[in-house]
Amino acid sequence: MATIIDGKAIAAKLRIEIAADALALTAQGIQPGLAVVLVGEDPASAVYVSMKEKACAAAGIFSDEHKLPADTAEAALLALIHRLNNDSRIHGILVQLPLPGHIDTDKVLEAISPLKDVDGFHPYNVGRLVVGKPLFQPCTPYGVMVMLKESGVSLAGKEVVVVGRSNIVGKPVAFMCLQEHATVTLCHSRTKDLAVHVGRADVVIAAVGKAEMIKGEWIKPGAVVIDVGVNRVGEKKLVGDVEFAAAAERASAITPVPGGVGPMTITMLLYNTVESAKRQAKSEK
Ligand code: NDP
- Is any ligand 1 atom within 6 A of the Cβ of residue 205? no
Residues 141/160, Cβ–Cβ less than 8 Å: no
Mutate which of 96, 146, 188 for ligand 1? The one with the most ligand atoms within 8 Å of its CB, which is: 188
Class of domain 139-262: alpha beta
- Does 139-262 match 29-113 at the fold level? yes
Strands (DSSP E) contained in 234-278 are: 237-239, 253-254
* Residue-wise burial string across 20-35, b where 16 or more C-beta atoms lie within 10 A, e elsewhere: ebbeebeeeebbbbbb
Ligand 1 atom closest to 262 (CA): 41
CA of 142 to the centre of ligand 1 (A): 16
Residue 284: its pLDDT value, please? 81
Instruction: Give me the amino acid identity at 123.
Output: P
The answer to pTM > 0.85 is yes
- Is any ligand 1 atom within 6 A of the Cβ of residue 161? no
Percent of the chain past pLDDT 90, that is, above it, reads: 97
The residue among 105, 118, 117, 96 whose CA lies nearest residue 51 is: 96
Residue 22: its pLDDT value, please? 98
Q: In the CATH scheme, what is the code of domain 29-113?
A: 3.40.50.10860
Residues 176/149, Cβ–Cβ less than 8 Å: no
Tens of each residue's pLDDT in the chain, 285 residues: 999 999 999 999 999 999 999 999 999 999 999 999 999 999 999 999 999 999 999 999 999 999 999 999 999 999 999 999 999 999 999 999 999 999 999 999 999 999 999 999 999 999 999 999 999 999 999 999 999 999 999 999 999 999 999 999 999 999 999 999 999 999 999 999 999 999 999 999 999 999 999 999 999 999 999 999 999 999 889 999 999 999 999 999 999 999 999 999 999 999 999 999 999 888 887
Residues 160/268, Cβ–Cβ less than 8 Å: no
Active site residues: 52, 96, 119
Residue with the nearest Cα to atom 24 of ligand 1?
166
pLDDT digits (tens, 9 = 90+) for 205-263: 999 999 999 999 999 999 999 999 999 999 889 999 999 999 999 999 999 999 999 99
Structural domain boundaries of the chain? Answer: 29-113, 139-262
- Is any ligand 1 atom within 6 A of the Cβ of residue 260? no
Torsion angle, CA of 211/215/221/227, rounded to 10 degrees?
Answer: -10
CA of 213 to the centre of ligand 1 (A): 11
